[in-house]
Structure 1
């Protein structure tokens, strides 16, 4: 691994590292905030998954998460959103290819060789972080939009691996909206049965773990009706008796202005869940 950035922040350090990823078949970046408590002891870690077009930089420079993470003694890991580099398949649209990995393991060409973000987030990155930084295997997962989908899907597919899950403006029904249908068709192929393994609605219907879900959704979000559809998740949660906190926020849009307004709540939610484990 090679450290690319290190900045003092609220008594801790905001770092960016580059490493060779087996899952992604090339070089990858991830950001990690280490709170001041990490100088003396291992700390729990919250994984943040960003949305379409983002890199590891968006969250660490725009969300304002470091202050509360420092207060509570929580590390935050923010990976890139897709494989990148020469020889990595891409498209001319923002919602497919580099910057749009959708946190699945692609099975179709030309994507299958590199687009294994699910494996990277669930297995490779946590092992790397826990082996090389002062963090304990006490994990939460959160994200925004495509990353909010990723957080819900990954937590539901991996019972017992995370003690909290939350999301901002998540794509809750990727098999029913344009963003998800485009990505799943490309990465997973035409067989919708394969899509179900990554669909939060189907996963929630068959959940083996009753892990509560926290979601914040802006009501002025330009993607709310066509791409996000949180009401669909609410229906399934009610049908299954699954605990869901769905905060609908008047006036807020899809941007990091929204995320920065409520990120403290999500970090504190993770902290509260740690004590309940």
Structure 2
């Protein structure tokens, strides 16, 4: 591992590290915010943030304003890149497939299968790395935005007991039923829709063994709301399964980081309460 950035921020430090990933077979980067307590060597709970399409680790650490709230609550916040990258890693000219669009799954189809294993990276490899190298407790939570909201919800649902809380901003809740998801799942997993269910929140809710409450914020002026996000499908799935959902529809907000920055404090407070 090599630290490539370090910036003082709101009493703590924002860092960026790079390392060789065994799951993805390429070099990966992640951001990590260490609050003042962690910078002193005290162990703190950790929250994992998963970003959306086209993003790297830089979008969240530069635009969300999360550092202020993370320091107030004594939270370490880890924000990985959204896909494998580099020479030899498969890509596609479209923004919603390939590098920058890992969809937090384990690909089984060529040319993606060798590198595109973001599920293993986020669920297993990255937490093991963080817990070995940084002053974190065993308490962890997860949240994300758009494609990353999809990743946070599905990873939490598939790993009962691993996370204390989960939340999402404008998540893709039913990728099997929307263009973004249908394109990515076909490319990465093939035509067998049964395989898609492992990466679809609406489908996973039907058999969820843990009733971890879901917190979701969605702007009603989001340009992707009706075509790609469809939060009404999440509401219906939660009602059918008896799964607790807090769905906040925010008037006037779009899909951008202006939306995330406006409510990131509420999400980190929510996770802080669960992590104590």
Per the normalisation by structure 1, the TM-score is: 0.99
Deviation track 1:68-115 (CA, whole Å, cap 9, x = no partner) reads: 100110000000000000000000100000000000000000000000
SS, match of residue 236 in structure 1: helix
Segments of structure 2 that go 5 or more residues without pairing to the other structure are none
Cα drift, residue 128 of structure 1: 0.2
Matches within 5 A, 1:131-150: 131-150=132-151
- 2:31 matches 1:31: yes
Cα drift, residue 137 of structure 1: 1.8
Superposed structure 1 runs of 4+ greater than 3 Å apart:
none
2:188 aligns to what?
187
Structure 2 CA distance for aligned equivalents of residues 134 and 274 of structure 1: 15
Cα drift, residue 40 of structure 1: 3.6
2:8 aligns to what?
8
Structure 1 CA distance for aligned equivalents of residues 221 and 197 of structure 2: 29
SS, match of residue 102 in structure 1: coil
SS, match of residue 171 in structure 2: coil
Structure 2 CA distance for aligned equivalents of residues 23 and 54 of structure 1: 20
Structure 1 CA distance for aligned equivalents of residues 121 and 275 of structure 2: 24
SS, match of residue 142 in structure 1: strand
Segments of structure 1 that go 5 or more residues without pairing to the other structure are none
2:255 aligns to what?
254
Structure 2 CA distance for aligned equivalents of residues 175 and 53 of structure 1: 20
CA RMSD between the two structures: 0.6
Cα drift, residue 272 of structure 1: 1.1
Structure 1 CA distance for aligned equivalents of residues 250 and 10 of structure 2: 29
Structure 1 CA distance for aligned equivalents of residues 43 and 108 of structure 2: 37
